[in-house]
Structure 1
């Protein structure tokens, strides 16, 4: 794998690869939820993901190695100017190759193209690598929910970050 990441919209054909990325990259250090269960999650784009429309995928040498999820942050008209990055995963073998940054920057550009004025995300304070990635992409901390989660018996802060877009 020597190529630059290529980011494109996800399709239903990416389902199995994204499910595998989700399974391989899950850790309690960066997700307060339960680990993905292959028995109960037979498809990545299951009903709660709403299909592939809100996802971008990254390829290296034609192989899907990562994804980012970008969705409206809420259902109110007064909140329609905000998008949220609510999922990011990169296969361990592709980490450190610019894939995460390419995905985040592509998500920001998609949000801008959709007319959004702001992109938000949440990251656990136990994931400093992801936080540095978001900061490189221009995101800043807007708030911290101290001890919002208890993971493996320890309180974990939920860090809210945002990027305000120039329209």
Structure 2
């Protein structure tokens, strides 16, 4: 029998049911959590584009993301094409300041999504002022996508490149702000591991052409990509841990690019029969809320994925480490990075088999006695 591990209100349980490979069964349907971002004024933090399909495997689209400067010839046309009300709820009566250039339009550098030479989406980069060592590890940004290109993966491509850029430039924290109505933006950033860090209650007032008058919360979100932080009980200092045991030369990434072929190969190396169903594998990983990968010399040696309602439950669907590299801390590190962004949720659930039970017990999981499950064999891909 295979155990199901659950983190419930700070405690974990495990229960045996089903057969081996149960961790690979079809996950229950997800109702995508709607999330929002912290605090800069709506005029500067525009809508982050539509929420593209949950996607950790890149779609074959003719979209290129480039680092460009303020003087790029395509920026004026892009800014002109953006609606002035971008970032505000529909039917909002704009103020005089909404018609002025925003921080988004005054940046020195951008990540731009281009197709056939036209900028269809952009992400502005705002590092701290030179000499301000207090804030040098932070990278602030805004993002916007042309309405006709929303929902086509542009936001996902920009966010993926942003995280790569921030790591390459040595930033440890990436943050932005938005308004509480912007569900699409919140879902997009939540999929990349951003967490809500602050809420400014009723920070913005909105009047509509239909006569409504109401307030919106400002929301701040951030993603920490720096060294692991530790704090001693009763202390207020967060200390960076420069070395982490067991990681060696393994490179970890959140929602990095994954090829179906390498995922299928990892499933096969694990003895997971799903390697016979490449489309199933691709769809499962694309539609996950968070994916963490481990690579050694560019080779995929481990991966973990999870889905969540972002309110009460995180379901860990898969944790895989290549058999040749087990016992080196890779699985523990994948779990830490996968669960970390959801540490405040009510429960964390996973299914596994008896052989891996000691591993999860070592991580603090305990047995839970009552679980229901329905098995649906995959359809042939022939």
- Deviation string 1:34-54 (CA, Å, 9 cap, x unpaired) is 4335xxx6xx85xxx143xx2
* Counterpart residue number, 1:83: 139
* Counterpart residue number, 2:341: none
- Given that 1:57 and 1:66 are in contact with CA atoms closer than 8 Å, whether structure 2 keeps it comes out as yes
Alpha-carbon distance in structure 1 between the residues aligned to 2:191 and 2:83: 26
* Counterpart residue number, 1:70: 125
Alpha-carbon distance in structure 2 between the residues aligned to 1:135 and 1:119: 13
* Counterpart residue number, 1:94: 149
Query: Helix, strand or coil: the match of 1:10?
Result: strand
- Given that 1:146 and 1:158 are in contact with CA atoms closer than 8 Å, whether structure 2 keeps it comes out as yes
Q: Pairwise mapping of residues 112-123 of structure 1 onto structure 2 (< 5 A)? A: 112-123=167-178
Greater strand share, structure number: 1
TM-score, normalised via structure 2 length: 0.37
Aligned equivalent of 1:6, options 59, 64, 67 = 64
Structure 1 vs Structure 2 CA RMSD: 2.7
Confirm whether residue 159 of structure 1 aligns to residue 219 of structure 2.
Answer: yes
Aligned equivalent of 1:29, options 75, 89, 110 = 89
- Deviation string 1:99-128 (CA, Å, 9 cap, x unpaired) is 011112212221211111100111110100
Give the deviation of 1:22 after TM superposition. Answer: 3.3
- Deviation string 1:36-94 (CA, Å, 9 cap, x unpaired) is 35xxx6xx85xxx143xx21110124321010012114562111101111x21111111
TM-score, normalised via structure 1 length: 0.79
- Given that 1:66 and 1:89 are in contact with CA atoms closer than 8 Å, whether structure 2 keeps it comes out as yes
Q: Which has the larger radius of gyration?
A: 2
Cα gap change, 1:141/1:27 in structure 2, threshold over 3 Å: closer, same or farther? Answer: closer
Query: Helix, strand or coil: the match of 1:126?
Result: coil
* Counterpart residue number, 1:132: 187
Alpha-carbon distance in structure 1 between the residues aligned to 2:194 and 2:125: 15
* Counterpart residue number, 1:20: 80
- Given that 2:123 and 2:143 are in contact with CA atoms closer than 8 Å, whether structure 1 keeps it comes out as yes
- Given that 1:29 and 1:124 are in contact with CA atoms closer than 8 Å, whether structure 2 keeps it comes out as no
* Counterpart residue number, 2:275: none
Give the deviation of 1:17 after TM superposition. Answer: 2.4
